[in-house]
Amino acid sequence: MRFPDTPLVLLHAFPLDHRMWDGVGIAEHVELITPDQRGFGGTPLGADEPDLARVADDVVATLSGRRALVGGCSMGSYVAMAVLRAAPELVAGLVLVSGRASADTDAGRANRETMAARAETEGAGFVADAMLANLLGAETHERRPDVVATVRTLVSEQDGAAIAWAQRAMAARPDSAELLRAADVPTLIVRGEQDTLIPAEEADALAALMPKAEVVTLAGAGHLPPLEVPEEFTGAVARWLE
């Protein structure tokens, strides 16, 4: 084991909660911590202004000074980067799934604000309809109706205020290229082959920033590999841990 006695924190994607990791068998290989981010899964949202740094503070508090492998999917990967920024001494390695180093474009920020405003007034129901097509790969839509139904349920059960807060927090996140370029830690980068939100060149650009990065592309998956191909995702992380 490359990381004996080192826990692995996995942070969920937007707009889901810790249950997205239920099918992943990594707990057989490492101590696994899968917290709900603020506002999701019934966790209190609080009164802070939208900022992923506040979510990173929550993760750092959970670690209580322990050094850990820190990872996440999509929004969770951005929080992992925020943890690295806040407390680099606690980060033994990174697992970045379906993420990018760059900040949002102006168009991307505008799209997030549109969804945030609608989530505040309409709740989570419309978010599931708006996002489901892009969250999952074509193969999942065609062959895994149970996964599609699970993701729809997970999204629909979230709080509209939390969805709005998270969208605005992601819109405000900084570019992390220099942060990652300076990070001398082992890193696993995972993307789904059918991910239309994070194309292959984004994953390669992310890896190019980091001297100790490895990229794994999982066939048959879109933006949520841990839900779409949990066994393959587990295998990729387990091999990296060894």
User: What pLDDT is attached to residue 1?
Assistant: 63
124, part of any domain: no
Please, are residues 97 and 74 in contact by the beta-carbon 8 Å criterion? yes
Task: Give a yes or no: residue 168 inside a domain.
Answer: no
Residue 130 located in a structural domain: no
Does the residue 200 lie in any domain?
yes
Structural domain including 218 reads: 8-103+174-241
Domain for residue 2, yes or no? no
The answer to whether residue 111 is domain-embedded is no
- Contact (CB, 8 A) for 130 and 119: no
- Count the domains in the chain: 1
12 domain residue, yes or no: yes
Output 109-117 pairs: Cβ under 8 A, ≥24 positions apart.
109/171, 112/167, 112/168, 112/170, 112/171, 113/167, 113/168, 113/171, 115/163, 115/164, 115/167, 116/163, 116/164, 116/165, 116/167, 116/168, 117/164
| Residue 208 counted as domain residue | yes
> Which CATH number does the domain housing residue 199 bear?
3.40.50.1820
Q: What is the mean pLDDT of each run of 10 residues along the chain (242 residues)?
A: 88 98 93 97 96 98 97 98 98 97 96 95 90 96 97 96 98 97 96 94 92 95 98 97 92
